[in-house]
A = this chain, B = another copy of it.
Amino acid sequence: MSANVTIDRKLFREAMSRLGAAVNIITTEAAEGAVGFTASAVCSVTDDPPTLLVCMNRTSKLNASFKAAGILCVNVLSHEQEALSALFAGGDMPMASRFAQTGWSRLATGAPVLEAAAASFDCKIDQITEVGTHSVLFCAVVAIRLGSASTGLIYHGRAYHKITGADAA
């Protein structure tokens, strides 16, 4: 075994597409106003103290904004929010217009909280580990909002899937 073995990136991405993950919109209140991006690389770390992590591309122009703000909100999407996921996944629409498409509020930190999210985790960025092309943001959860919908939107096999509760295995 060698740690320097080269894994084909295409194969890595194909295999990773089989690791289903929840779809979230990560937001912050930056110097330039409210900003956000769609992410599935979010993971619970521990409930003592309540901590989660978010992986974020270092080449994103939002990377510096999130680090400067020092806060963020993880908004877990419900099964009905695929369009919102696409809206924050990229494109040319100004941030202000994206945020204008739906309702937002605030909790403790001032980061935008999606009112229709299944759950929102309002966080303080506690620690950052840089790994290759990505920043891993370890976040202390300081406030939580449970939405009225407890359903979920999953990205798996390069497609969206709805978890409505009716499809339990």
Q: Which residues of A contact B (CB under 8 A)?
A: 1-3, 5, 7, 9, 11-16, 18-22, 24, 41-53, 55, 71, 76, 79, 82, 108-110, 118-121, 124, 126-127, 129, 131-134, 136, 138, 140-144, 146, 150, 152-154, 156-157, 159-163, 165, 167-169
Establish whether residues B20 and A43, one from each chain, have CB atoms under 8 Å apart when the complex forms: no
Establish whether residues B169 and A162, one from each chain, have CB atoms under 8 Å apart when the complex forms: yes
Establish whether residues A154 and B163, one from each chain, have CB atoms under 8 Å apart when the complex forms: yes
Main secondary structure of the interface of A (DSSP, over half): strand
Establish whether residues A76 and B18, one from each chain, have CB atoms under 8 Å apart when the complex forms: yes
CB nearest neighbor in B for A1:
B108
- Show 13 A/B contacts (Cβ-Cβ < 8 Å), sorted by A: A3-B140, A5-B142, A9-B47, A13-B47, A15-B146, A20-B20, A41-B44, A45-B136, A46-B131, A48-B132, A53-B136, A129-B138, A152-B157
A144 touching B3 in the complex, CB below 8 Å, given contacts A45-B55, A79-B169 = no
- Of B21, B108, B140, which contacts A21 at CB under 8 A? B21
CB nearest neighbor in B for A82:
B169
Establish whether residues A168 and B159, one from each chain, have CB atoms under 8 Å apart when the complex forms: yes
Top 8 closest pairs, chain A to chain B, by CB? A160-B169, A46-B132, A15-B119, A43-B43, A12-B50, A46-B134, A18-B119, A20-B152
- Of B3, B50, B153, which contacts A9 at CB under 8 A? B50
